[in-house]
A = this chain, B = another copy of it.
Amino acid sequence: MGTTKSEHFTDTQNEMATLAKAIGHPARIAIIEYLIKVDSCICGDIVNELPLSQPTISQHLKELKNAGLIKGNFEGNAICYCLNEEGFNKIKLFFNHVNTYLENKKNECC
């Protein structure tokens, strides 16, 4: 009890859920938006941009990285993170599917 029953769903469903879940926190949205805004890697300065402690931010970065939404490179003693297109492309596939449906759906029951 308490654990998501991942084994009962398809790999695609679990993967999509993992991606969405990783995006499902305002701090992580803020990180993604910041990466877009500065159009460059973030090396440390993100800690000054967010109202959260360094360990908490490090944890959020790790989750985004594990989900495949950002990737990081070592640059001397700093680490640079930027968006990982691969993860966002998977999300795009899912929402393209949803949006195509919504644009063409026939039933008007609700």
Contact = CB atoms under 8 A, between A and B. Distances in A.
A32 interface: yes
A21 B26 CA distance: 10
Q: How many copies does the complex hold?
A: 2
A29 B29 CA distance: 20
A31 to B, nearest CB: 10
A40 B26 CA distance: 33
14 contacts: A8-B26, A8-B51, A9-B29, A9-B30, A13-B29, A16-B23, A17-B26, A20-B23, A21-B21, A39-B106, A72-B110, A73-B109, A84-B110, A92-B95
Q: Which 5 A-B pairs have the closest CB atoms?
A: A21-B24, A9-B26, A8-B51, A20-B24, A20-B23
